[in-house]
Amino acid sequence: MASNNVSTGEKLLALIDDIELISKELIENTIAQKHQKLSSSEHLLITELLVAKDNELKEALKLANEQAKINCKMEALKREVERQDQYIQQLQRQLKEAEQILATAIYQAKQKLQSISRANKRPVPSEDLIKFAHRISASNAVCAPLTWQQGDPRRPYPTDIDMRLGYLGRLSDLPINGHLLQQQNSLSDLHRTGHPPGSELPASQQNQFAWHPSGEIHMTVGGQGSVSMDTRNHTAEDVEVMSTDSSSSSSSDSQ
Amino acid sequence: MDSSEQNGAALASKLTVDDVDVEFLPLIYEIIRRYGAGVERDPHDTNQKTRESQDTSQKVLELQKKLDQARNQIRRLPGVEHSKEEQLQKLETLRKQLQLKKELLLKYRNMCTFDIPKS
């Protein structure tokens, strides 16, 4: 091998150049005048050189053949590498996406944990919450009904009047039954402005709830039958429900 | 540019070493023999001599053409841009690269343990 750094292609081209030169020399020698001709030994040398170069060229071509096969392998490898590159890029993209999603989730979870720890540091007793809720419902409104206008006595929260109208409020006034009915009548007139005040309906039907001596309250809905409610056993439970309601609403308001 | 490169690549992939015509020696031999025969046969027949020399120059042109063609074919041969040693080195590099990439992929795929830093 002449040198390892010369590429096979260049070597082949150089060999062809050599062959061209030598053959030129040979042909020129053949057509030259007798006195200019090379000696037979020189002629022999040139011919041998030509043959040697030709053999070298054929060897180089064999090498080139091997290299072509190696080149095929390299092409296949390159394709494989490219494929792996694509896989890696795809995977990286997916990892990036996952990272983003996880980062968002972690951020939100951290915020949640922060508020939880804040709540743990300063616990608020439920009685306070209920008290606060009462205070809010007594004086403050959060939002008005959709059709509310100035002068409308309706409120988005149960006012004292509403509470007294409810049967919870009436439970405390049980002994003075007749007096209560009258009071309710006047209150409901005040509350339901759309109703004509001088209607011929008896007071017990005009009110939504009518007290019966049996201890049950019947709610009449527009005269289409009545729904009976047992008040005796569920009073405590109802109060419970109310208090939890107010606590939840006040907690949401305070945030 | 790109299409021409692709064209060249396609041509190169079609061309193999067997297609390269390097049979110069018979042609050279024929040229010398003809000339020698022409000189020896009849040195005074100018007509024949002219014909022979035309024939010979034709052959010389043929040889020239053949040499040029061989050069062109060699330039288009695939995988002769480097010497064999360099080529083998490059092949090895490619193999290593592929190996590394496969390992990287495996690493990515088996990486399912996530450490959440405690803060």
Q: Tell me the backbone φ, ψ of residue A22, rounded to 5 degrees.
A: -65, -40
Cα distance between residue B109 and residue B106, in whole Å: 5
Cβ-Cβ contacts under 8 Å between A and B: the total is 129
* Residue-number span of the structural domain to which B73 is assigned: 3-81
B43: DSSP letter: T
Let me know whether B76 and B21 are in one domain. yes
Written in H, E and C, the secondary structure of chain A is CCCCCCCHHHHHHHHHHHHHHHHHHHHHHHHCCHHHCCCHHHHHHHHHHHHHHHHHHHHHHHHHHHHHHHHHHHHHHHHHHHHHHHHHHHHHHHHHHHHHHHHHHHHHHHHHHHHHHHHHHCCCCHHHHHHHHHHHHHHCCCCCCCCCCCCCCCCCCCCHHHHHHCHHHHHCCCCCHHHHHHHHHHHHHHHCCCCCCCCCCCHHHHCCEEECCCCEEEEECCCCCEEEEECCCCHHHHHHHHHHHHHHHHHHHHC
Q: What is the pLDDT of residues A60-70, one digit of tens each?
A: 999 999 999 99
- When mean pLDDT is compared across A11-20, A46-55, A160-169, A209-218, the lowest value belongs to A209-218
Residue A41, domain member (yes or no): yes
Q: Give A239's pLDDT tier (boundaries 50, 70, 90).
A: very low
Neighbours of A99 (CB within 10 A): 11
Cβ contacts (< 8 Å) between B80 and chain A: which residues?
7-9, 12, 64, 67-68
Question: Band of the pLDDT at B80, cuts 50, 70, 90?
Answer: confident
Q: Are residues B75 and B98 in the same domain?
A: no
- Assess whether B39 and B61 both reside in one domain: yes
Q: How far apart are CA A19 and CA A60, in angstroms?
A: 14
Within 73-132 of A, beta carbons closer than 8 Å to B belong to 73-74, 77-78, 80-81, 84-85, 87-88, 91-92, 95, 102, 106, 110
Q: Is the residue at A77 inside a domain?
A: yes
Query: When comparing pLDDT for B98 and A252, which is higher?
Result: B98
Is residue B114 predicted with pLDDT exceeding 50? yes
Contacts of B13 (CB under 8 A, 6+ apart): B78
Q: Check: CB of residue A9 under 8 Å from CB of residue B81.
A: yes
Q: Do B7 and B60 belong together in one domain?
A: yes
Pick the closest to residue A249 from A155, A84, A70, A126 (CA basis).
A126
Q: Is residue B15 part of a domain?
A: yes
Is the Cβ of B60 closer than 8 Å to some Cβ of chain A? yes
Q: Which residues of A28-50 are buried (b: 16+ CB within 10 A; e: fewer)?
A: eebeeeeeeeeeeeeeeebbeeb
CA distance A210 to A201: 13
Q: Is residue B66 part of a domain?
A: yes
Q: What is the pLDDT of residue B32?
A: 82
My answer on whether B57 and B95 are in the same domain is: no
pLDDT-above-70 percentage for chain B: 73
Q: Does some domain include residue A46?
A: yes
- The reply to whether B76 falls in a domain is yes
Q: Tell me, yes or no, whether B74 and B88 share the same domain.
A: no
- At A113 the pLDDT is 96
Provide the pLDDT for residue A147.
75
CB contact B40 to A (< 8 Å)? no
Evaluate if residue A209 carries a pLDDT over 80.
no
**Banded pLDDT at A112 (limits 50, 70, 90):** very high
Residue A168 at interface with chain B, using a CB cutoff of 8 Å: no
Task: List A228's β-bridge partners, or say none.
Answer: A218
Give the Cα separation of B59 and B54 in Å (integer): 9
pLDDT at site A1:
44
Contact indicator for B38, B53 with CB cutoff of 8 Å:
yes
Encoding tokens for residue A62?
């064999």
Tell me the C-alpha distance between B15 and B21, whole Å: 12
Same domain, B17 and B70: yes
- Residue A163: pLDDT over 60: yes
Q: Name the residue among B31, B77, B85 with its Cβ closest to that of A27.
A: B31
What's the mean per-residue pLDDT of chain A?
72
Quote the number of domains for chain A: 1
Model confidence at A238, pLDDT cuts 50, 70, 90, reads very low
Domain annotation covers residue A200: no
3-state secondary structure of B102: helix
Q: Is A58 on the interface with B (CB under 8 A)?
A: yes
Residue with the larger pLDDT of the pair B11 and A87: A87
> Percentage of chain A surpassing pLDDT 70?
61
Provide mean pLDDT across the span A17-32: 87
Give B25-77 pLDDT, tens digit per residue.
888 888 888 777 666 655 566 777 788 778 888 888 998 999 999 999 888 88
Residue, of A72 and A168, whose pLDDT is higher: A72
Do B46 and B92 fall within a single domain?
no
Choose from A222-231, B45-54, B88-97 the range with maximum mean pLDDT: B88-97
Most confident of A76-80, A123-127, A218-222: A76-80
Please report the pLDDT score of residue B118 as a whole number. Answer: 57
Looking at the domain assignment, is residue A87 inside a domain?
A: yes
A40 contact residues in B (CB cutoff 8 A): none
Residue whose tokens read 């790109």:
B2
Average pLDDT over residues A205-214: 46
Is there a contact between B97 and A81 if contact means CB atoms under 8 Å apart?
yes
Mean pLDDT of B11-19: 68
Closest CA to A250 of A146, A166, A128, A168: A128
**Residue B118 belongs to a domain:** no
In chain B, the number of structural domains is 2
Instruction: Compare A251 and B96 and report the one with higher pLDDT.
Output: B96
Rounded Cα distance between B20 and B76, Å, is: 10
**Residue A71 placed within a domain:** yes
DSSP state of B17: G
Query: Which positions ≥6 away from B40 have C-beta within 8 Å?
Result: none
Residue A1 lies in a domain: no
Q: Do both B71 and B89 map to the same domain?
A: no
Both B51 and B93 in one domain: the answer is no
Residue A16 lies in a domain: yes
Residue-range definition of the domain harbouring residue A70? 8-120
Better-predicted residue by pLDDT, B40 or A74: A74
Indicate if B19 and B74 belong to the same structural domain: yes
- CA separation for the pair A26, B34 (Å, rounded): 13
Examine the pLDDT at A133 and tell me if it is beyond 80: yes
Percent with pLDDT over 90 in chain B: 18
Verify that B46 and B89 share a domain, yes or no: no
ipTM (interface predicted TM): 0.73
Taking a C-beta distance cutoff of 8 angstroms, is the pair B18, A68 a contact?
no
